Amino acid sequence: QLQASGGGLVQAGGSLRLSCAASGFTLDYYVMGWFRQVPGKERVAISCISSSGIHTYYADSVKGRFTFSRDNAKNTVYLQMNSLKPEDTAVYYCAADRGSQCGSGWFVRRKYNYWGQGTQVTVSS
């Protein structure tokens, strides 16, 4: 089970840190991803991280503003979101599946078998 948290309401230019904690399995051998979804649109990938945490990959829309990290000892991953924009408003989902490296091939929903419940991020202008 994945449990996402940390969402909320923030003004444009502000920051939030999302967390995603796993229970029932260890994340050491899993690639992790963050997706986001707005009403009426598809869920889209914004970032993934390798099982080691060494490699990360970002969508152009968040590159340079968001940082994906992981603490395998705590079985938790984090998404630090800085310089938030109103267009970042969405429900954010963490996802996991067994693997080591991440890249553009992990930017598809069907790669992941485990999903968190989503956490709402709202950025006001």
Contacts of 35 (CB under 8 A, 6+ apart): 43, 44, 45, 46, 92, 93, 94, 95, 109
Overall size of the chain counted in residues: 125
pLDDT digits (tens, 9 = 90+) for 62-111: 999 999 999 999 999 999 999 999 999 999 999 999 999 999 899 999 99
User: What is the torsional sign of CA 108, 94, 115, 112?
Assistant: positive
Average pLDDT over residues 36-53: 97
Question: Which pLDDT does position 3 carry in this prediction?
Answer: 96
pLDDT digits (tens, 9 = 90+) for 22-36: 999 899 999 999 999
pLDDT band of residue 14 (cuts 50, 70, 90) is very high
Question: Which pLDDT does position 52 carry in this prediction?
Answer: 94
